[in-house]
Amino acid sequence: MISEQELLQKWRSLPQDKQEELLNFLDFLHLKTTAKKPPLGERLRQIRSRIVASGKPLLNADEIEQELATRRGGIQGSEE
């Protein structure tokens, strides 16, 4: 079994982008192995909190529509 010291040594030798990639993978593994996931609403609130804490501005309604259209290949949603 690998020791914590060995893990830290390997971690420190990685470039910043690879450290972030590894953290994302560890988050994925943790979520996958966690027996009970919080409800979707709670997970979305957690994501929002992390975005706000990062200092990134949240999207307004127009920016959300633009993002959706971009992801749909330029197709706009129905206007009601």
Please, which pLDDT band fits residue 79 given cuts at 50, 70 and 90?
Answer: low
The encoded tokens of residue 47 equal: 């994501």
In the prediction, which pLDDT does 11 show? 86
Which pair of structure tokens corresponds to residue 27?
């988050």
Annotated domain spans of the chain? 4-71
> Is residue 80 over pLDDT 60?
no
Task: State the pLDDT confidence band at 78, using cuts at 50, 70 and 90.
Answer: low
pLDDT in tens, 2-59: 889 998 999 899 999 998 889 888 888 888 787 677 788 988 999 999 999 999 899 9
3-state secondary structure string across the chain: CCCHHHHHHHHHHCCHHHHHHHHHHHHHHHHHHCCCCCCHHHHHHHHHHHHHHHCCCCCCHHHHHHHHHHHCCCCCCCCC
